[in-house]
Structure 1
Amino acid sequence: MSQVFGLNSVDIPSKETFSQIYGTIKEVPGLNFFEKIWASYYVYMDNDIFATGLLFFLLHEVMYFGRCLPWYIIDRTPYFKKYKIQPNVYPSDKEQWECTKSVLKSHFFVEAFPIWFFHPICEKIGVSYDVPFPSLSKIAIQVTIFFFLEDAWHYWFHRGIHYGAFYRYIHKQHHRYAAPFGLAAEYAHPIEVMLLGFGTVGIPIVWCYFTRDLHLFTICIWITLRLFQAIDAHSGYEFPISLHHFLFIWAGADHHDEHHHHFIGNYASSFRLWDYILDTEAGETAKNTRENKNKSKAEKVATKN
C-alpha cells in the first residue's frame, strides 16, 4: 500500500494503529498535513473500496448537515428576518424534521449503495488517489469546469422534469416548499436524486475518462462546494455580501427562491447564463423585462408597417 502513495522508502508494518501510521508517514518530506492524513487513512484502512466508500459517504453527510445547521439557526434568529426573501414564511420544526427524515432515507437507500462502486470505477478510468495532491491551480481550474458543465446539465434536465408527467410524478415532491430552506436542497424523488445527481458525480467521471487527469481529492473539493452551493441556493436568504453581488453570473438564493415561489423559470443551478440566454428567468423583474422586450418588438413591427 505504501508504494501506491509513492512512499517506497517508508516501511509501515501491518496492524499498526492510525496514530502509529501517521507518525511514520509524517516524516516523509514534501507532503503537507492534509496529504499525510489522506495517505495515513488509506494505508490504515487497507481496503481501497471500503476506504473511498466510507470517505465519500461521511463527506456527504458531514458537509450536507454541517452546512444546513447554520441556516437552521438563522431561521430561528429574529435579527436575520430582514434578509429573508419571503419574510413571512418559515419552516416549522415539524417540517424540518420531516424533511430531514426524507433526506436521510435518500442518503441511505438511494445514494449509499452506488458509493461503494465508486472506487472501482475510479481505478478503471484512471482517477488518482495517491499523494501528493495536484496543485491548487489545477484543482481550481477543474472545479470551475465542473461547475459550468454541471450547470448546463442541471438546466436542461431540471427544465425537462417541469413538464407534464415528469413534474407530476417526480419533481413535484421537491416543490412541496414554496419558500425553500437549506435542508430542502436534497428533498427530492429518488429518480430526481439520481438524474440531477449525475451532474455532480458523473461529470468528473466522464471528464477523467477522456482526460485521464483527475484526483480523488479534487472530486472531494468539488462535491463539497457543490453541496454548499445547493444548500445556500435553498437557504431563502439574500445578504448584502451574497456572492452574486460580486460575481454577476452567480445564481444564488434570490435566483432559486424565485423558482420555488413561481414554480417555473430559473432552472439553472449555479449560474444565471442559461436562463438569461434562453429567456427562462423567473420573478416579477424578469416578467416585466420580457413584457417590455415584446412590447418593443411589436412597436418596431408596427413602425415598419
Structure 2
Amino acid sequence: MDYTFNTTLAAPATGSYHELYEIASLNPKLSFLEKLWWTHYAYWDNDIIATGIITFLAHEILYFSRCIPWIIADAFPNLFHRFKIQDTKAPPSAREQWNCVKYILAIHFIVELPLIVLFHPMMEFFGLQYSLPFPNLKTLAIQTVIFFFVEDTYHYWLHRAFHWGPLYRAVHRVHHQYAAPFGLTAEYASPWETMLLGFGTIGPPLVLGWCTGEVHLMTVLVWVALRQFQAIDAHSGYDFPWSLRRIFPLWGGSDWHDDHHRYFRGNYSSSFKHWDVLMGTVAGPRGKKMKKSE
C-alpha cells in the first residue's frame, strides 16, 4: 500500500495504533475513516494480513449484529407476531438459534476464512485498489447497484439449478432445513453452496476491476455489507409496513423469499423480482394467480 498518499507522511515505523493514527492525522486531506484505514495497513505492514483482518472482522460483526433485531423480534412474539409472515409457525427456539450460530461460525472459519486470506492476492491480480483516497460516493453507489443486478442474475440461475434433484440432494437441501426461515439462516448452507454463491458476490467486483481498474476495496466492503443485510432481512420471516419492497416494487424482500422456503420452488432471485416474473417461476398462490391472468 502507498503510505505516502498526497502528503509528507513518511513510511511507517513500528508503533501502536494510536501513534500511527497521530501520524495519519497530520494529513488534513484524510477523512476520519481514511485515517483509520491508513493506520490499520501501516500497523500490520503486511497488506495480505491487513486486508484479511478487515474483511473477516467486517463480515462477522456486520452479519451477527444485523441478526440481532430479528432475534429480538423472535424473543417477543406478543409484540411482533402481527408482522410475522408465516404466523402459524412458532418462532425458533433459543436452542435452534444457538445450533444455527454454531454451524454458521464453523462455515465462516473453515470455509470462508481461508478464502478471505486468499482475497488480497486475487484482488491485486484483478486490479482492485485499496490505497487512499476512497472512491467518491457517486462511483461507490453506481458500482454497488451494478453488483446488485449482476449478482441477482447469477444467483437466480444458480439457485434454480440447485433445485434440480441431484444438486438439491448434494448441495442445497441443508439451506432448506428451515421451511420458516429466521435471520440467522441467511448463511446456513453447505460448504459447496457457500463457495458457489459467494463467487456471485465477489465475482462482479473482480470482473469490473479487471475491466476498468477503478474498483476499490472500500466499495467491495460496502457492497458485501449491503448484500449481507439483504440476505438476512430476506430470511427474517417478518414483513413490516416500512419494508423496502413497499417503496421499491422491483425489490423482492422477505415476503418474496419466505414464499420460496414455504413452497420450496420458485422465487429463486436474491434481491429483485424481475427474473422470476420473466421466467414464470413466481412461487405459491401469487405465481398461480399471475399465470391465470395471462
TM-score (norm 1): 0.93
Matched, 1:41 2:37: no
Deviations 1:126-163 (A, max 9, x none): 21111110100000000000000000000000000101
Q: How does 1:244-259 map to 2 (within 5 A)?
A: 244-259=245-260
What is the match of residue 24 of structure 1? Answer: 23
**Superposition pairs of residues 221-260 of structure 1, within 5 angstroms:** 221-260=222-261
The aligned runs of 1:61-72 (5 Å cut-off) are 61-72=60-71
Q: Offset at 1:291?
A: 2.6
Q: Find the counterpart in structure 2 of residue 86 from structure 1.
A: 86
Structure 2: distance between partners of 1:81 and 1:283: 22
Shift >3 Å, 4+ stretches = none
Residues in 1 aligned to 2:173 and 2:123: alpha-carbon distance in whole angstroms? 34
C-alpha distance in structure 2 between counterparts of 1:105 and 1:167, whole Å: 21
Q: How far apart are 1:88 and its partner, in Å?
A: 2.6
Once residues 199 and 129 of structure 1 are traced to their aligned partners in structure 2, the CA distance between those partners, rounded to angstroms, is 21
- The structure whose Rg is larger is 1
Q: What residue number does 1:130 align with?
A: 131
Name the SS of the counterpart of 1:281 in structure 2: coil
1:120 to 2:121 alignment = yes
Q: What do residues 57-78 of structure 1 show as CA deviations (whole Å, max 9, x unaligned)?
A: 1111001101011110011112
1:102 is matched with which residue? 103
Structure 2's unaligned 5+ residue stretches are none
Q: What is the deviation of 1:203? A: 1.7
1:192-212, CA deviations, whole angstroms, 9 ceiling, x for partnerless residues? 111111111122111111111
Distance 2:190 2:3 in 1: 40
Q: Equivalences for 1:1-305 in 2 at 5 Å?
A: 3-11=2-10, 13-77=12-76, 78-89=78-89, 90-293=91-294
Q: CA RMSD in A?
A: 1.2
CA distance in 1, matches of 2:88, 2:72: 17
User: Deviations 1:16-72 (Å, cap 9, x if unpaired)?
Assistant: 111011111112021111111111111111110000011111111001101011110
* Contact kept in structure 1, 2:4 and 2:11, CA below 8 Å: no
C-alpha distance in 1, partners of 2:266/2:175? 15
Taking a change above 3 Å as real, the CA distance of residues 276 and 5 of structure 1, as seen in their structure-2 partners, is farther
TM-score by length of 2: 0.96
Q: Residue 12 of structure 1 contacts residue 21 of structure 1 at CA under 8 Å; is this kept in 2?
A: no
| Structure 1 counterpart of 2:18, one-letter code | S
Change (3 A) 1:13 1:169: closer
* Structure 1 residue 8 displacement after superposition: 4.8
Question: Conserved in 1, the CA contact under 8 Å of 2:174 and 2:188?
Answer: yes
Consecutive unaligned residues of structure 1, counting only runs of 5 or more, are: 294-305
The C-alpha deviation readout for 1:243-296, integer Å capped at 9, x for no partner, is: 011111001000000000000000000000100111100121221221332xxx
Tell me which moved more, 12-21 or 61-70. 12-21
Aligned pair count reads 292
The aligned amino acid for 2:244 is L
Query: Equivalents in 2 of 1:8, 1:152: separation in Å?
Result: 43
